[in-house]
Structure 1
């Protein structure tokens, strides 16, 4: 074929572009980015975004274009599972950070299992998240059977409660947490008045009336800030001032806004320490504030750390694959078998079912318009 100078230039440009084209690698996230739990979902998404930005240069050195694809699961299992199917169909997605809610994580991880898309949840605590033994499912937060007993221990030893009224939000998260608290309290001789499930979001008058009648020393509520905040407001307005304890679903500044003056004498357990209590988090907190014009909270730390596990896992798998883009199965194995340093919450590795081998739980106190560290509890998963 006769080639004109223009033809040669065009072919040369195409050849050069092809040689320099980066292989696209994506990570996805599942979190509620709209609806009643969007405050914590956006914190997690933002934390993941910072980790992706931080890791982009390392991926670029290996010839990869790292992209982040966030999905809004609306804290709804059906929506989250539909998103998981979309993720599975996109072969460039090698792993997922999420989901936040156990009720979403359980079906979403099952939907991703066959395609070997690794998941690292930044917040799901229900025992069944990992008890199913899925090879693709991991988490960086303590399980309900670690967080529940820690909450029960705090109720019994620090708050000296001898009679506790338990509530849960009827989700996998809330029911699981409340069940573990109930079990631990009863085993230590503390009277549990009831473990009542409720999906109520606006009028807690009937529950408050029962609480007043029973006169418990403390209340435990396994639920999320948007529901518990309304309950707290109405509980305090009814003159009930006993301590209220919950899990990491209360870890949001929105709790203070929703509960108002009712956000007093409240405690919650969480795997994420307040950012100011973590020396390693100082730069992260400053970067978060600068980037998103708001302070970082616990779920931002969760999201950042879970994303770093995912990203480092992909890099480890790529390096073991002679620098080439790894398969989903290779990433799945690299995450499960890896040891991950440099996390804000400390070094992390996973046991045979994807639970973090060791972690620290923090008990936070809410009062006077502030959230402060109360105490710390070291925990390990119940399973080896």
Structure 2
């Protein structure tokens, strides 16, 4: 029996590796591939169970696809299998983004400007498309429209890393007050095991305190990414403006050109969009040499993915009881609206220096149309942009 379980776990991890190398395009595309492999091919769980698991992860901070696949590993084989699942899932994308950052470090600014001539506006188009796509799905009431607009204004005029969590919490609280519109469900007593919650909170407070005392850049970077991973609702497209505000506009660890290049590259990298953190972490420690860059990648990657793992381990145990409370379900409207507004604010901030450049504007428009119509795969759009930049150099 034990040997049978071990074989099953090995097959599952092999499936995870295949997906880690072939999943492109974010949580919605990932979900389709999860359904095909985990439900139809392997029958690890039913379609309804996977969709419910995905819904749970969408309301938690952190990377949705990563939490979904990690939670599946937890259900199949407990914490040990879940951590192996997490490692295998994030490794290919993190390695690729680290290598990309190392390459950019040694490219002259003039060469980088030529190479990313079309990639930078494409990165803006990706964020615009994310805001548009999310908005079309979640903005359905006057309250959500108002929250989206207010969050967009706040995100644009106050580009602090603390604006995003504040507005997401305010949005959730605002619509939680509309709980009376939700259907009543028969509730059961909630039995909570607090271990993983205290582990998540303890790491957050300890890293923040240690960073403040030591002023060590690696420790502060870990805390920065751990905090962002703890407060990012809505997946990788919401993380991008968070990282831009903190590491480009607030701390100036990266230039806008470098960040936009990373945005474009992560769109063609396999696995979770959160692997953009490996790119940002690497460049944040470039002054320490290559060993420092590798350390920056490591602390950023661990920092961004760890909190979501702790939280999904914590919540999954009592999710069946929690989802029956109307206030929880009602808060999702405000969280989604605020996330959409903040994404739009990031897109507008990045577009500002480009609006006088006709080529950049046309590139944004064309990229947006291609994304909307899905006539061309995302990776071909990026490859085309790189080739055009190289040809125009």
Give the TM-score taking structure 1 as reference length: 0.27
> Which structure exhibits the higher relative contact order, with contacts defined as CA atoms closer than 8 Å and separated by 6 or more residues?
2
Larger helix share, 1 or 2: 2
Give the TM-score taking structure 2 as reference length: 0.27
Larger strand share, 1 or 2: 1
